[in-house]
Structure 1
Amino acid sequence: MATTESTLRSSLGGFTAEGKLHHLSVWFILALRLMMGVAFLQSGVDKVLSGSFGAAGYLQNSPPANGSPVADVFVAMGETPWFVDFVNVAVPWGEVLIGLGLIVGFLTRLAAFWGAFMMLLFYLGNWDVGHGYINGDFAYMLVFLSVAAFGAGRILGLDKAVEQYDVGGQPLVERYPWTRYLLG
């Protein structure tokens, strides 16, 4: 088993953080990607198959009841018919697509971004800070961001092959650098 050690280094706002990856890190990153993929796929499939998912009641009632600081925004969304119709499709099918993307490692950064965005909305809508500001929704948002940051789609995923796909004699990501924001 190869145990090549890699160093992570990043600077932000004048501060530099540095650390070494353990040789098992790749497996934990893959596990995070698959865990979130299965969780979202299962949640989305349950909603799609039940045929009874409806966001209006949640949007109008739950955030105000739990004291969300953005409750008025959620209520306004819940009182806008076209938006509720959109959410009624976007949430279940978004969960399915995010889940599938993560499981097969295709468009992983795009899937993880939308997963993190959904978890941010769930965090704000399910506002439960009785035991502190960090809850499951917040933690899942950070897991999605970690999956994106580590390029988890390159680990036994389709993104690795897609990035190297030959386009005019160059790998796709070299020819079109913007694709790095979607793949990996």
Structure 2
Amino acid sequence: MASQEVALRSTVGGFTAEGKLHTLSVWFILALRLMMGLAFFQSGISKVLSGSFSASGYLMNAPAANGSPVADLFVAMGSAPWFVNFVNVAVPWGEVLIGLGLIFGAFTRLAAFFGAFMMLLFYLGNWDIAHGYINGDFAYMLVFLAVAAFGAGRILGLDQYIEAYDVGGKALVEQYSWARYILG
């Protein structure tokens, strides 16, 4: 098997980063997508099937108990019954949908964005900097962002087919360029 490298180059804010990916990198990108998909699906489906998930106690107590700098925001969210009801549905079903999106590689960037957003909230709510600012929640957030950046849904995923779907003689992402932000 011949080994090849793929060059990467990106400029942001006047700074350019360059590097090379080995062709085996595609398998690790796929592994990250599947790992996060399975982790979120399992977490969400266990909450859905238990039928007893409630975010109220967590919102009202955990962030304040662990010294989160945004504890008051979490308490305010936990004090609004309509918001708690929303979170009680959004967290378990969000985890299930994010997990399925990543497992099947469908709407991967959208799923990864919401996964990263959830992990940011978990990071702030589970605030623990005893061993530094980087913890598992923060690392998972970065994995979600990497999955989105690499367009991991195109690797043995449905996004490659969704993007190519014919719409008026053009591929979906050519007809609707905004679709690139949710697919891939």
Normalised to the residue count of structure 1, the TM-score between the two structures is: 0.99
Aligned length: 184
Are 1:91 and 2:91 counterparts?
A: yes
The equivalent of 2:141 in structure 1 is 141
Per the alignment, in what secondary structure is the counterpart of residue 8 of structure 2? strand
**Residue 13 of structure 1: CA displacement?**
1.5
Q: In structure 2, what is the equivalent of residue 171 of structure 1?
A: 171
Task: Tell me which residue corresponds to 1:57.
Answer: 57
Rounded Cα–Cα distance in structure 1 between residues aligned with 2:28 and 2:78:
38
Supply the distance in 2 between the matched residues of 1:3 and 1:79 (Cα, whole angstroms): 57
Any idea what SS the aligned residue of 2:127 has?
A: coil
For residue 57 of structure 1, what is the amino acid of its counterpart?
G
Matched, 1:107 2:110: no
Alignment of 1:1-184 (within 5 A): 1=1, 3-184=3-184
CA distance in 1, matches of 2:69, 2:46: 29
CA deviations on 1:6-34 (whole Å, 9 max, x unpaired) are 11111111110000001110000000000
- The secondary structure found in structure 1 opposite 2:22 is coil
**Alignment root-mean-square deviation, CA:** 0.7
Work out the CA distance in 2 between the residues paired with 1:2 and 1:137.
Answer: 37
Q: Deviations over 1:38-79 (max 9, x none)?
A: 000000000001111000100000000000000000000000
For the residues of structure 2 that align with 1:3 and 1:46, how far apart are their CA atoms? 42
SS in 2 for 1:47: helix
SS of the counterpart of 1:21?
Answer: strand
- SS of the residue corresponding to residue 6 of structure 1 reads strand
- What's the TM-score, normalizing by structure 2? 0.99
SS at match of 1:67: coil
Q: Distance in 1 between matches of 2:150 and 2:57?
A: 37
Task: Kindly provide the CA deviation profile for residues 136-160 of structure 1, in whole angstroms up to 9, marking residues without a partner as x.
Answer: 0000000000000000000000000
The gaps in structure 2 that reach 5 residues or longer are: none
Q: Which runs of 4+ in 1 moved over 6 A?
A: none
Classify 1:167/1:97 alpha carbon distance in 2 versus 1 (closer, same or farther; 3 Å). Answer: same
Structure 1 gaps of 5+ residues are none
Deviation at 1:2, TM superposition (A): 5.2
